[in-house]
Structure 1
Amino acid sequence: MDAVLITAVALLWGAAFALLLPRAAYRLAVAPGEPWRRACPAGHPLPAGAAGWVGRTPCPRCRRTRTPGLRAVVAALACALACGALAAATGPRPELAVWLLLAPVAALLGSVDRAVRRLPDQLTLPLAAAAPLLLGAAALVPGHRGSWATALLGGLALGAGYFVLFLFNPGGLGFGDVKLALPLGCALGWYGWPVLFAGAFAGFLLGALYGLGLMVLRRARRKAAIPFGPFMIAGAFAGLLAGGLTA
């Protein structure tokens, strides 16, 4: 398939999924210990089953929320550009299908963590299981450019590293970050240890720059906790781009 066509399809894929995520993000964005939201801001009960989790807006009944807001449009654009960039960097290789399947879930996780500093188990655990399984399937298809064994070791290594950091600083790093490190390490490890280290370092660097910016603007103190999931995902995204281009 032509590279331009693959990139165009990936752009549409990312935009379509991102436009269906706002309802799930709204329902999951609650404080730890609280149940998932079952009603829209106006009090209308949300549909049962899968229909209650997929949609452009929190409520299918509220006319005022039928049109996607600015945040939803920005999120769709960002997810589309991310998927398109992954397609352009990876090319027509089997692992591209894995990146495109994992990207919307990662985008949803980043959105929820940014809103309430929480990475729900309902997303991190399936993601941690799906990443090695999907990459294992990709490793069976001719034309792949990665190592499934290194991917498995990478997930364990990054997860263990974050677990150690969590033990030393549980106030600054949540256990959800440890769980998220497993699939991200697996994805980065697919392209080898240098890409794993680069992606992990990029996440810490982006988080540090964000925290420094908040301190400069006097919007946070030095020891203030920030949602780290989005920066982990952004760093992994940068690592996958580098890995796809150099593989």
Structure 2
Amino acid sequence: MPTISTTLTVAAFAAFAAIGAALAIVDIRTHRLPNRLVALAGASGLVLLIGAAVTGGSIHALLRGVLAALVLLIAYLALRMLSAGGVGGGDVKLAAVIGLYLGWLGWGSVVVGTLAGFMLGGVFAAGMLLTRRADRRTAVAFGPWMIAGAWVAIALAVSRR
């Protein structure tokens, strides 16, 4: 029988899956990541992972998740400031949420998920350019690739346990 901590952790990642899917759909359609959905993903994850940590999970995993959220927030904020509109404010906020979840799993997951998001987005953009469905000025929603990259890392982490 699963522990309360395990149940809360699974609930947190299930919430991220559902809200992440909604965020990806909205971002593809509108090139926006609604603050309410991003905040819901972050708040639900934080509450459920705090619950998991205090009911027998790892306080270290929780602290690592919060720190990873801060690290990705700062990194994406720097990217936003350095790119001329290439990284939106929603991407910056979503990066913090993704950092929380991937940080819970470990620093390796943070690195893999972040890099996978950039790689998947890059391959998609290159494919669009090669098939002449886009040019260098075409905006590409990055949120879905960030979320997909996170799920690559989550799947790898789960498969190793």
Please confirm whether the aligned pair reaches a TM-score higher than 0.5, indicating the same fold.
Answer: yes
- The equivalent residue for 2:46 is 132
Query: Aligned residue pairs: how many?
Result: 158
Q: Distance in 2 between matches of 1:143 and 1:176?
A: 30
Q: Distance in 1 between matches of 2:59 and 2:93?
A: 26
Note the alpha carbon deviations across 1:6-48, whole angstroms, 9 max, x for none: xxxxxxxxxxxxxxxxxxxxxxxxxxxxxxxxxxxxxxxxxxx
Q: Distance in 2 between matches of 1:184 and 1:129?
A: 12
**Structure 1 stretch displaced more, 110-119 or 144-153:** 144-153
Q: Among 142, 146, 163, which residue is 2:77 paired with?
A: 163
Does structure 2 conserve the Cα–Cα contact (< 8 Å) formed by 1:139 and 1:148? yes
Q: Determine helix, strand or coil for the equivalent of 1:220.
A: coil
Note the alpha carbon deviations across 1:123-160, whole angstroms, 9 max, x for none: 11222222222211111233669711100001111111
- The equivalent residue for 1:231 is 145
Does structure 2 conserve the Cα–Cα contact (< 8 Å) formed by 1:93 and 1:144? no
Q: Distance in 1 between matches of 2:37 and 2:27?
A: 11
Query: 1 or 2 for the larger relative contact order (CA 8 Å, sep ≥6)?
Result: 2
Amino acid corresponding to residue 115 of structure 1 in structure 2: R
- The equivalent residue for 2:15 is 101
Does structure 1 conserve the Cα–Cα contact (< 8 Å) formed by 2:15 and 2:44? no
- The equivalent residue for 1:212 is 126
Q: Which has the higher helix share?
A: 2
Q: Distance in 1 between matches of 2:76 and 2:108?
A: 18
Instruction: Return the TM-score normalized by structure 2.
Output: 0.90
Cα drift, residue 102 of structure 1: 2.1
Does structure 2 conserve the Cα–Cα contact (< 8 Å) formed by 1:150 and 1:190? yes
Q: Distance in 2 between matches of 1:163 and 1:143?
A: 31
Instruction: Return the TM-score normalized by structure 1.
Output: 0.60
Runs (4+) off by over 6 Å: none
- The equivalent residue for 2:63 is 149
Q: Distance in 1 between matches of 2:43 and 2:81?
A: 23
Cα drift, residue 181 of structure 1: 0.8
CA 1:123 to 1:170, structure 2 compared with 1: closer, same or farther past 3 Å? farther
Does structure 2 conserve the Cα–Cα contact (< 8 Å) formed by 1:113 and 1:227? yes
Ranges in structure 2 where 5+ consecutive residues have no aligned partner: none
Of the two, which has the highest radius of gyration? Answer: 1
Does 1:179 find its partner at 2:79? no
Amino acid corresponding to residue 129 of structure 2 in structure 1: M
